[in-house]
């Protein structure tokens, strides 16, 4: 038996697990929307597991920050322009994993 969860209940679940600071409000909205879309695309209901989400997905301000903080082997030095660096970083990340873009940052599925 599964229960449908709205966005408010989704956020409350993070608070109950003392993980409310793991993602920004916008990040929570982005991952919630992503998971709902995933359910719709696959036809399978997902179980809300806050701890698993926090272990499997990480939020970053942008792609370049993600590359730098994680120490991924992605050379961005050939790009002079900041926008080009960001696009190259996001392209590289998308080739490696799931990237959830949202206004204010990105969330990647950790790999």
CA 109 and chain centroid, separation: 6
Residue ranges of domains in the chain = 7-109
Torsion angle defined by CA atoms of residues 39, 17, 98 and 84, in that order, rounded to the nearest 10 degrees: 130
Sheet containing 99-102: give its strands across. 57-60, 105-109, 99-102
Q: Give the C-alpha separation, 82 to 53, whole Å.
A: 30
Q: What is the pLDDT along the chain (111 residues), one digit of tens a residue?
A: 678 899 999 999 999 999 999 999 999 999 999 999 999 999 999 999 999 999 999 999 999 999 999 999 899 989 889 999 999 999 999 999 999 999 999 999 998
Q: Give the C-alpha separation, 1 to 72, whole Å.
A: 41
pTM: 0.91
């Amino acid at each position: 038996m599964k229960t449908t969860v709205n966005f408010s209940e989704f956020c409350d679940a993070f608070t109950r697990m003392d993980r409310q600071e793991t993602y920004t409000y916008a990040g929570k909205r982005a991952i919630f929307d992503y998971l709902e879309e995933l359910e719709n695309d696959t036809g399978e209901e997902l179980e809300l597991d806050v701890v698993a989400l926090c272990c499997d997905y990480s939020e970053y301000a942008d792609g370049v920050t993600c590359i730098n903080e994680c120490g991924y082997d992605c050379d961005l030095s050939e790009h002079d322009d900041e926008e080009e660096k960001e696009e190259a970083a996001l392209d590289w990340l998308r080739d490696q994993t799931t990237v959830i873009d949202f206004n204010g940052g990105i969330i990647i599925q950790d790999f």
